[in-house]
Amino acid sequence: MKKLKKFAVAFWVAVMLFSGVGAANPVDAAWSKVEQSHYEKGVLIGWADGNSFEVKTSSGKYMVFRSSNNWYKKNLISGKSYTYYYYTNKYGQNIITKIQKDEQSHYEKGVLIGWADGNSFEVKTSSGKYMVFRSSNNWYKKNLISGKSYTYYYYTNKYGQNIITKIQK
């Protein structure tokens, strides 16, 4: 009788695994989320309430997004451009999964003058003005050469600092 019970349990588990019932495939679940996700680039207009905010997209349309992440409400700046990653739930609401500052919102071409400290360096731009940039990427400090020309992609944070997102030769 014990052998019959063990066989029945083993058979039932095998059927469930092969049929897909009772065991979700995490790869399929993750892929379905990717298929349902969207993104829009746009300018933050403002917050409607503690969870909803309005954006004017780069195509000119207005969209409302929802997020319960309090960090966004405290740190995102109205009038600034961001990329909004979201999915639409069953109620038609656009739910934020991630917000990124637009990486190439500004760029300058110029010659690296030198490093002021471990995170800041000065550049003379092709228009002749001097700018200070910040980056915590140690690769830049080790590999960029003073006197050489580069293109500096950056955004300006709420403290007025020019934060590097990418540097190209």
Q: Per residue of the chain (169 residues), what is the pLDDT tens digit?
A: 566 556 555 555 554 544 444 444 443 444 344 446 788 888 899 999 989 999 998 888 999 999 999 888 888 888 888 889 899 999 999 999 989 876 556 789 999 999 999 899 999 999 999 999 999 888 888 899 999 999 998 888 778 889 888 888 8
Domain count, the chain: 2
Residue 117 near residue 131, CB atoms below 8 Å: no
74 with 115, same domain: the answer is no
Assess if residue 61 is contained within a domain. Answer: yes
The pLDDT value given to residue 50: 87
Assess if residue 27 is contained within a domain. Answer: no
3-state secondary structure the chain: CHHHHHHHHHHHHHHHHHHCCCCCCHHHHHHHHHHHEEEEEEEEEEECCCCEEEEEECCCCEEEEECCCHHHHHHCCCCCEEEEEEEECCCCCEEEEEEEECCCCEEEEEEEEEECCCCEEEEEECCCCEEEEECCCHHHHHHCCCCCEEEEEEEECCCCCEEEEEEEC
55 with 94, same domain: the answer is yes
The pTM of the full predicted model, rounded to 2 decimals, is: 0.45
Q: Which residues contact 135 (CB under 8 A, 6 or more apart)?
A: 119, 121, 141, 163, 164, 167
120 with 148, same domain: the answer is yes
Assess if residue 56 is contained within a domain. Answer: yes
The pLDDT value given to residue 106: 79
The pLDDT value given to residue 2: 62
The pLDDT value given to residue 20: 47
Answer with the one of 72, 101, 130 that is the final residue of a domain. Answer: 101
Assess if residue 11 is contained within a domain. Answer: no
95 with 111, same domain: the answer is no
Among candidate residues 126, 134, 132, 130, the one with its CA nearest the CA of residue 110:
126
The domain of 142 spans: 106-168
User: What would you measure as the largest C-alpha separation in the chain, in angstroms?
Assistant: 90
36 with 90, same domain: the answer is yes
Among candidate residues 82, 37, 91, the one with its CA nearest the CA of residue 55:
82
The pLDDT value given to residue 4: 53
Answer with the one of 81, 101, 121 that is the final residue of a domain. Answer: 101
Answer with the one of 101, 126, 146 that is the final residue of a domain. Answer: 101
Assess if residue 156 is contained within a domain. Answer: yes
* CATH code (residue 155): 2.40.50.140
Assess if residue 78 is contained within a domain. Answer: yes
36 with 97, same domain: the answer is yes
Assess if residue 15 is contained within a domain. Answer: no
93 with 40, same domain: the answer is yes
121 with 163, same domain: the answer is yes
74 with 42, same domain: the answer is yes
Assess if residue 39 is contained within a domain. Answer: yes
d(CA 135, CA 119): 5
